[in-house]
Homo-oligomer: A and B are copies of this chain.
Amino acid sequence: MIHALLLAATAAQAAPAPVLPSDPLPADWVAVPDDELLVFTLANGKTVTVRLAPAAAPVHVANIRKLAAAHWWDAGTSVYRLQDNYVAQWGDPTEKKALPGGIVANPVPEYEQRGPTAVARLSRRDPYAEWAGYSRDGWPLAGIGASQWLPHCYGMVGVGRDMAPSTGSGAELYAVIGHGPRALDRNIAMVGRVVEGIEWLSSLPRGTGDLGFYKTPAEYSPIVSARLASDLPAATRPHFQYRATTNPRFAAWIASRENRAPPFFTVPAGGADICNAMPPVRRTP
């Protein structure tokens, strides 16, 4: 792959790429609300920014916002689990730290939602659902009829929980760092997506204990703070945009993901799975 991709990169630098039907217009980029952006800062100074999905899991996301407002993650929390090809998990490894007032300790399951259904869909059936596609506001979706959910794709964030009927409070979170473990769909509350910094989780040493838990606290990666962008000073507040999904340019983008183009690709697949066609999100230029 090296030559081809380097050539492509070099060409892209040498001359402006031709405009494609799949290219977005400036107006296709829509601001992510500040209170949907949660910035985790690790002890090494690296940040992991999560876009929250309040529509998918309103009670769990309300808990997470309260935990951030109470600075709950600022002391005694760490990335304490790294299971290869599965998840990075963080929070309070002792599970003994008291939760702030107002937290719903065990919300009702928020694993599926009833429409509005996807505004754009992939061509082929999803192996874990009847269909896969995109919400109006830039989220990936999988669904059966009018029931839909956020799929477990790379970078998606879920709520750690105990055995059912536990749904987890939101204090323990994980991000997918391997092939999308879609069997978890509809079994766990999905609350967001890492939009920047997933590499600071995915490149951590793998835990050598059962299920990727680190054997010793010395192996943990401490978390020093978690803040909603809306609680950060304007000067340091990050801004992100999602790509609008309700226009012909996005439809052309889906087609381009399902049929990758020459010169590198010579056999188009004619389809894609949702985790290989994640809706674009970017830092606001």
Contacts and interface: CB of A to CB of B under 8 A. Distances in A.
A266 B124 contact: no
Nearest to A260: B183
Given A127-B271, A269-B185, A198 B2 contact: no
Nearest to A4: B163
A218 interface: no
A183 B264 CA distance: 11
Contact of A3 (B163, B260, B263): B163
A275 B82 CA distance: 20
Given A179-B180, A267-B186, A84 B199 contact: yes
Nearest to A265: B187
Contacts of A199: 84, 206
Given A183-B272, A203-B204, A276-B182, A4 B154 contact: no
B95 A267 contact: no
A234 interface: no
B206 A206 contact: no
A247 interface: no
Contacts of A160: 1-3
A166 B263 contact: no
Interface in A135-169: 153-155, 158, 160-164, 166
Contacts of A273: 127-128, 182, 273
Contacts of A188: 1
Contacts of A205: 203
Contacts of A260: 183, 187
Given A84-B198, A127-B272, A267-B187, A179 B203 contact: no
Contacts of A122: 127
A242 interface: no
Given A183-B269, A203-B205, A81 B2 contact: yes
A19 interface: no
Interface string A271-285: 111011000000000
A276 B211 contact: no
A89 interface: yes
Give the 4 A-B CB pairs with smallest separation, nearest first.
A3-B162, A9-B210, A186-B267, A1-B160
6 contacts: A2-B89, A5-B210, A127-B271, A154-B179, A202-B202, A273-B273
Given A199-B206, A202-B206, 14 more contacts: A2-B81, A2-B213, A3-B161, A3-B163, A3-B166, A4-B162, A84-B199, A122-B127, A164-B264, A179-B275, A180-B276, A186-B269, A187-B260, A203-B203
